[in-house]
Structure 1
Amino acid sequence: MMDRPVPPRLLREPFGILADGTAIERLRLLGDGGFEVAILTFGAVVQALHVPDRDGDSVDIVLGHDRLAPYASDRRYFGAAVGRYANRIQGGSFTLDGIACHVPANDGPNALHGGPDGFDRRVWSVEAVTDGPAPSVTLGLVSPDGDQGFPGTLSVRLTYALTGPRELSIAFEATTDRPTLVNLTHHGFFNLAGVAEGGDVLDHVLTLNADSYLPVDALAIPHGGPAPVAGTPFDFRSPKAIGADIRAAHEQVRLGRGYDHNYCLSGGRTRVPRLAARVEHPGSGRVMELMTDQPGLQFYSGNFLDGTAEGKFGRLHRQSDAFCLEPQAWPDTPNRGDFPSARLDPGETYRHVSLYRFSTL
């Protein structure tokens, strides 16, 4: 009897063509039981993530688009790889080894997510693919010296891999030929109920393993140092619905229009990923656990989704229709000597590993 052919676990397909004629590819990594992730070469975007519920029904749980054009025309960071510096740099300026560096402002007076032409706007190359039980794809990007004002030529490799039955690994590596600053992250917008289902995430139950967070000013720049979460709406050390305190009369909630703050993770930067956050959706039973080796985690409750972005399934995304958990260095670290450093020197390798592990209640 002939053996049946093993179906592929990695599929490559066209996803559209940019205005300059560049073809964009979608790579799908297929797991078991309907678990699947789709990645674009534009922005290294996670375009879709299908996860089963308690009944085994698998649906897409991340915001995004069905077509290439909205990714190229509207910068909303849906599922993108963000760099060179995730989060904000005050005034778009910093000094490194006595040299003043300027990143063009794109968030009021500040630089956000690498400036106006960050890594989420770039076409990444496919450097390696692996089929089989643990499919993976490695994407590459070279950012030249002076790109968006950052010193040094930065070579980046980003690997997406299915490393468990329902586990997605996202691993960054980067090297430089001059001293520079690096802070890369994945900017997924999650709704564990499913994007097609619609609705907000205020009933999702969140746990964050952090005793402190960074209060911000009116421009979302940290002021002062870490503040304890105890006794504030920012305390998620025990499981709590995202919406439980989102309308509390607290100055930081008012400034962020909800949550848009860095949590200072216990243990700082670690050698191996540890549990940073857990999110449960009671309705579907889906659970997401996030493990990371990074010192900070930006929790964003989708405050600025305003109904103008048309996503997949013909949905208009509105406030709190998704949440983001972005593992990274702390914001404005280039201007804060008291924050954990984001410096990278020649001969060193920047590494960032985050694991997204899914299960059911």
Structure 2
Amino acid sequence: MQVTSEQLTVAGQNWLEYTIKNDQGMEVSCLNFGGIITRILVPDQHQQFENVVLGYKNYEDYLSNPNYFGALIGRVAGRIKGSSFELDGKTYNLPANNGENHLHGGEPGFHKVIWDTTPFENSNEAGIVLTHTSPDGENGYPGTVEMKVTYSLNNENEFTITYEGSADQKTVLTATNHSYFNLSGNLKDDIKDHELTIDASHFVELDEALIPTGEIPAVDGTPFDFRNGRQIKDGINSNFEQNVVGGNGYDHYFLFDQNNEQDVIVKEKESGRQLIVKTDQPGMVLYTSTMLDDSLQLAEGPSKRYLGLCLETQASPASVHDDRFPSVILEKDEKYFAKTTFVFGLI
């Protein structure tokens, strides 16, 4: 197990890129800027190590990063309707950066700050501890929030992200990571044929602005039923109303049934790769990169629709307006804790 680092100068800013490598040869690389995961190298069935996440060819593009490639997201991941919410009778107004709505914590959110970083290594685990203080009133949010995020890789090819936080007054908080996975390796193919299993009997219905309607329908008989596994293209090719609303794909929150230790399984048959997601979070946003176009230069080639799969484990920002959704409220001096593990292996 080892952690190495490289100093980068990007648009006059000094960044660090860390690479965590285990004894099996798996590597995870990340920046202290935005906690951005730039590469994850894992083997296929022929023991060929290839990158399985989307990242830019030119690191300057991470400064704008409108698609949030690989980044830590917060204070609140997802969309907040009307860019405002109420806590204990007081209204908090947030910047509208997605139409009239507030998306992914605003600017600069967790994805646009330089985190303090400390690497660590031991016999079966290595990683990076990232810390950041978000001041009271930043982007309209109440309370000073102290965040600590740990990226750790072990020798079982398990990559774990642990989020810890606290605030000096009542606030809202739910963080996630916005990596786009593509198990074909080095972007050899899109994700339409990826087979996905999700332990979820219900999902959150969206309106045309991708804001929850308040309805939480059952997945039965729809392309949102991933309980026994199905290919992503089932939803892409479907005329089911919610797939159409999601840009002919998915951009939806799924509520886990908590029946299994394995909440999500992704398989890509050509490479033989498999990704298992285990989390303590109540649900996950599945996003199938429907808004990507061909204008971006990625490490392995141009971007395009359906090139990556986001698995954003988190609570629901809709809960600030509707208490039927998993809550994002954090009480004063309460400890925020969330943990998600990505297990890479073979089918």
Scaled to the shorter chain, the TM-score interval is over 0.9
Q: Does 1:239 align with 2:225?
A: no
Correspondence 1:16 to 2:9: yes
* 1:339 corresponds to 2:332: no
Gaps of 5+ in 1: 1-7
C-alpha deviation, 1:128, in angstroms: 4.7
State the Cα distance separating 1:310 from its structure 2 match: 1.0
By how many angstroms is 1:168 displaced?
0.1
Residue 211 of structure 1 is matched in structure 2 by 201
Closer, same or farther: CA 196–219 of 1 in aligned 2, 3 Å: closer
1:167 to 158, 180, 204: 158
More displaced stretch, 30-39 vs 50-59? 30-39
| Aligned equivalents of 1:224, 1:164: Cα separation in 2 | 43
> Are 1:113 and 2:104 matched, yes or no?
yes
Identity over aligned pairs, percent: 34
1:285 to 257, 272, 275: 272
Matches within 5 A, 1:224-303: 224-257=214-247, 258-267=249-258, 274-303=261-290
Say yes or no: does 1:57 pair with 2:48.
yes
TM-score by length of 1: 0.93
After the TM superposition, list the runs of 4 or more consecutive aligned residues in structure 1 that deviate by more than 4 angstroms.
none
Conservation of the 8 A alpha-carbon contact between 1:274 and 1:293: no
Q: In structure 1, what is the Cα distance between the partners aligned to 2:157 and 2:327?
A: 33
Which runs of structure 2 are paired with 1:136-215 in the superposition (5 Å)? 136-197=127-188, 199-215=189-205
Instruction: Output aligned runs, 1:306-325, within 5 Å.
Output: 306-313=293-300, 315-325=301-311
Alignment deviations for residues 60-91 of structure 1 (CA, whole Å, 9 cap, x no partner)? 11001243201013322101000000000001
| C-alpha distance in structure 2 between counterparts of 1:148 and 1:77, whole Å | 18
Question: Cα deviation per residue 1:176-212 (whole Å; 9 max; x = unaligned)?
Answer: 0010000100111010001342x21111110000000
What is the alpha-carbon distance in structure 2 between the residues aligned to residue 75 and residue 117 of structure 1? Answer: 12
Distance in 2 separating the partners of 1:164 and 1:263: 30
Letter of the 2:322 counterpart: R
1:133 equivalent in structure 2: 124
CA contact (8 A) 1:72 1:121 kept: yes
- SS of residue in 2 equivalent to 1:65: coil
| Counterparts of 1:174 and 1:267, CA distance in 2 | 24
**One-letter code aligned to 2:314:** Q
* Alignment-derived partner of residue 4 in structure 1: none
Q: Is the 8 A contact 1:15 1:67 kept in 2?
A: no
Following the alignment from structure 1 to structure 2, what is the Cα–Cα distance between the partners of residues 98 and 338? 19
Q: Within 2, Cα distance between the matches of 1:126 and 1:18?
A: 20
Task: Provide structure 2 residue ranges, at least 5 long, that are not aligned to the other structure.
Answer: none
Secondary structure at the aligned position of 2:62 is classed as: helix
Deviation track 1:79-114 (CA, whole Å, cap 9, x = no partner) reads: 100000000000110001111101101111100100
Find the counterpart in structure 2 of residue 71 from structure 1: 62
| Length-normalised TM-score, structure 2 | 0.96
Match of 1:358 in 2: 344
Q: Which amino acid is the alignment partner of residue 45 of structure 2? A: R
CA contact (8 A) 2:16 2:32 kept: yes
What letter corresponds to residue 16 of structure 1 in structure 2? T
Amino acid at match of 1:357: V
Q: 1:340 and 1:73 mapped to 2: Cα distance?
A: 30
Q: Secondary structure at the match of 2:320?
A: helix
- In the TM superposition, what is the alpha-carbon distance from 1:33 to its structure 2 partner? 2.9
- Secondary structure class of the residue paired with 1:332: helix
Q: Tell me, yes or no, if the aligned pair for 1:262 and 1:331 is still in contact at 8 Å.
A: no
Instruction: Answer yes or no: is the 8 Å Cα contact 1:333–1:342 preserved in 2.
Output: yes
Question: Distance in 2 between the 1:25 and 1:354 partners?
Answer: 24
Name 1:348's counterpart in structure 2: 334
User: Does the CA-based 8 Å contact 2:24-2:155 persist in structure 1?
Assistant: no
Give CA deviations for 1:114-172 in whole Å, capped at 9, x if unaligned: 01321101111114533543111100110000011100000000000013421100000
Helix, strand or coil at the partner of 2:263: strand
Q: 1:288 to 1:260 in 2, by over 3 A?
A: same
For residues 118 and 171 of structure 2, the distance between their equivalents in structure 1, rounded to whole angstroms, comes to: 24
Residue 81 of structure 2: aligned partner: 90
Q: Distance in 2 between matches of 1:40 and 1:322?
A: 20
Shift of 1:349: 0.7
- Cα deviation per residue 1:216-252 (whole Å; 9 max; x = unaligned)? 0011111123110001111111111111232211111
> Any idea what the Cα deviations from partners look like across 1:28-51, whole Å, max 9, x if unmatched?
110133211001001001110001
2:187 and 2:307 in contact (8 A); partners too: no
